[in-house]
Chains A and B, each alone.
Chain A
Amino acid sequence: MPGRVITVTSGKGGVGKTTTTANLGMGLAASGSKIALVDADIGLRNLDVVIGLENRIVYDICDVIEGRARLRQALIKDKRFPDLCLLPAAQTRDKSAVKPQEMGALCQQLASEFDFVLVDCPAGIEQGFRSAIAGANEVVIVTTPEVSAVRDADRIIGLLEAAEKHNPKLIINRIRPEMVKRGDMMSVEDVLEILAVDLLGIVPDDEAIVVATNRGEPAVLDQDSRAGQAFRNIVRRMKGEAVPLMNMDEQPGFFVRLSRWLRGDSNGRVSRRSASKVRS
């Protein structure tokens, strides 16, 4: 059975597509699936950096499409999970370099070998977007709870409908529950009222993401990160499990704080379990 090809898109830039693609990919790999990540942001590649594999790039997607390298040569195996592979974007080209049919064929090829193919879509609605969705069976839309991001996500949904990619799923990223309570930020319901698509998950705003990006260690691997927990929940939903939405208001409970204290973090603050240092 061929794998699921899922494109992660948003319209608006900077809402968390690459972060989401990296975290979902790594989370799925950690749960035992074979994952291929494809960076479709030609010219502005980022997925490699976020996963910490940028020093391993020899060939990229354009090399494969233009015949200078085989797919196997270009795919980079992750250092933590051998069943996770990355096909990097080209940095010295731009989005006219890959046509939708070429991307579609490539995704088909990957789907025959992997359980999931996650495609990181560039911002915008032009050729980069059209190529990135070309091979997708499913689409995940990432938005933040802001009017501008929601407007762009709505546009994307309209374009997806026209491209016959129906029933996209939504992830609402960077939610700040205190601001929502004060009425300063759109709530999940406000967003769904406009977009009216199925919700795949919600992710709280979390400093751990910034740290994780700089280290190349996605937050989904960090047990103490709330965003990481949200991504882990989404991974389980993607595999068919019914997982209730995270309660954004939760302070860690008494026993969690007690156990952290016992582990030696005396202020009860969240400690970084990962031993890797910030790379220079």
Chain B
Amino acid sequence: MITMNDRITIKGTKKGLLFATRDMSDVAVLINEMTTRFESTPAFFRGAQITLATGDLVLEESELSRIKELCERHGASLAGVISTDEMSRGAARNLGLQSELRIERPLPHTHNGDGDEESGEALLVRRTLRSGQLVEFAGSVTVIGDVNPGAEIIAGGDIVVWGMLRGSAHAGALGDERVVICALQMAPTLLRIGSRIGRPPEGQGIRRAPTPEVAWVDADQILVDAWDVWARQDRNRTRILQR
């Protein structure tokens, strides 16, 4: 489940709760917001594993320690910190917490090119991803450009490619399987949503899809179909409205 307010978004994932901040530059505000959330619905947070995604907010070790205690006071535990700030990641490691984005396998570094804009929930990548480049982000990722074979996108949310998707894309990497992968031209080497894996049919060579297509999970499988076919499914349309 997803709840939103102005500064913190809380997402439920397979690994626990993800607290993602937006436009936050003051750690005191973060602590206040978290305290408010904890106190308004205490039962919801009991026993939860919490991961912070704080973007480039600078977290010192003492501040992070206070947040850790705050979580523990409400019966939750702080598992890790996802941060683009090196000092914050170092602080997390010093406290024995995980840092960066952690999925099934150890992660190579994130490549942030000149055209990448980040704003809390979504990353906009305004360039073509070349073979060997990796973009990973806890929220949704939109690429304006192609994703060449050998390039990879790993996103906690949706993946949208305004171009040709020829590389590999893993959406819902934190466990959310209700996300989608869409592309103007869907010709990937590999698709993953949550824990599901989808491969293109063998022997197609370079496939030219006639229309933009969407990949989504239905009954434990990844399905790929034209944009309008996907949109027509009532279930999915309702979900769009809810967001």
Contact = CB atoms under 8 A, between A and B. Distances in A.
Interface of A: 151-152, 154-155, 157-159, 161-162, 190, 194, 196
Interface of B: 111, 113, 128-133, 146, 148-150, 166, 206
A155 B131 contact: yes
25 contacts: A151-B131, A151-B149, A151-B150, A152-B131, A154-B130, A154-B131, A154-B132, A154-B148, A154-B149, A155-B150, A157-B130, A158-B129, A158-B130, A158-B131, A158-B132, A158-B133, A161-B113, A162-B111, A162-B113, A190-B206, A194-B146, A194-B148, A194-B149, A194-B166, A196-B146
Contacts, number: 32
The 3 closest A-B pairs by CB, nearest first: A158-B130, A154-B131, A155-B131
A184 to B, nearest CB: 12
Contacts of B130: 154-155, 157-158, 161
A152 B212 CA distance: 28
A46 to B, nearest CB: 26
Main secondary structure of the interface of A (DSSP, over half): helix
Contact of B132 (A159, A194, A196): A159
A158 B129 CA distance: 8
Contacts of A158: 129-133
B204 to A, nearest CB: 14
A196 B150 CA distance: 16
Contacts of A161: 113, 130
Contacts of A155: 130-132, 150
A162 B130 CA distance: 11
B150 A154 contact: yes
Task: From B113, B131, B148, name the one whose CB has the most chain A CB atoms within 10 angstroms.
Answer: B131
B181 to A, nearest CB: 20
Contacts of B131: 151-152, 154-155, 158
A159 B133 CA distance: 9
Contacts of B149: 151, 154, 194
Given A154-B148, A194-B149, 10 more contacts: A151-B149, A154-B150, A155-B130, A155-B132, A157-B130, A158-B129, A159-B132, A162-B111, A190-B206, A194-B146
Contacts of A154: 130-132, 148-150
A154 B164 CA distance: 15
Nearest to B133: A158
A199 to B, nearest CB: 17
A190 B146 CA distance: 14
Contacts of B133: 158
Contacts of A152: 131
Contacts of A162: 111, 113
Contacts of A194: 146, 148-149, 166
A157 B149 CA distance: 13
A162 B111 CA distance: 9
A54 B111 CA distance: 43
Contacts of B146: 194, 196
A196 B127 CA distance: 12
A190 B164 CA distance: 13
Task: From B128, B146, B166, name the one whose CB has the most chain A CB atoms within 10 angstroms.
Answer: B128
Nearest to A153: B131
A169 to B, nearest CB: 16
B208 to A, nearest CB: 11
